Chain A
């Protein structure tokens, strides 16, 4: 399928000499949800900002639906809606006016019925005449989404939409993203949270230090990255892992009082039951057992070190 966004050898070095993006190439398919994962300062926002026309690239090119984002910026930008990371809203406008303003900026004629439906979908209809400065953080986030959707874009960028957002709003946003995807909108979101990418994305890209480390189908990537750890606390500390447990490649931690087993939950056999039996045979007494997901930071460190 022809990509709706094609990024080719994109680089950005700021005036101070900091390289935010280094030779990034990426194709985004129409109708997909792509999650860009990366730590703070990885270059996610810079990448989005260049595609949307907010920041100039140092080199490389971006085309949107076949339109070069510089030469044919009108056609390219008309297709895009952007929800920024920060809650950047004027203070003295009403919710209704700010959405109408955004729609007009993108050259669309006034359509009160569409704006009304949009506000209802975002649970903002009751607040349509409220001043923006009187809204809560969650509502401001919804208003930003409303502004981005006010001109009926076919591509939506969500820059860390769930940062600092409560669980309810996060679930609402995921539902909204799925609904938009069903209507054919291509969605690119950036996030710190691997669970978020796992929940809604079709493909996942990982950016670190301005480089796109990997882009892959979500399931394939989760298979590679989705390691879990089983922490086994022992009643008594040990100095060496018994020979009978070496097959599980355990780590000894907590001054010999804990064993850590890293496993892949998607494998048919995780090896947990066999390990617990082997521990029993080795006459080690268990105090407690718990599991944890490998953090995104750990995954990044692994990828960067590779």
Chain B
């Protein structure tokens, strides 16, 4: 048993390929058997992944899901930022520039609308929960943009660490929601063509949420959504601690 364990740990990434492969086989089986393919196999795989992360987090008390279980540490490498970004870029293979140009303007616009909308929702919610100072309001609002924009903004403004934690959590909840809910609402919101995928990526913005949500909906749409989503966090980091903070401070102090 010890020998098996040391082999699995020593070959972390390779073990992750095997485990994820088994999980995907199981998911497609469940998709065919229980739902007659109505629920996409990859949607089920992602939901099982999220469930496993919840289960592992409760056991280990860590923040990286199953990657905190020694035996499955390779999953953290496989699903980490480096391979994720590498795979996202590869999905652009075969995309036509013309398709991108068609929705270019609206796609760009959707990034700014998306950042502003999430920020305003975060600020209003924080205000309803009793926060009154501009720094805390801005930090929580930025967390509703993405879980990267939140702490970047909080650090820039010198926010309280409890507020920072709350801000990151808001972003994580948003990302998990987008991952889990997108396949269910896709048809309702017309998410079935490159243009709407670009708008979707721009409005949602969370790279992992959009990446997971579109993968479970229609893999062909992934590059279009991912392209706009990757500019969203940058736009949020640009706007939240500067323009949005100054506007908010003017409103709060008035």
Co-complex (A, B)? no
Which B residues fall within an 8 A CB radius of A?
Answer: none
Which A residues fall within an 8 A CB radius of B?
Answer: none
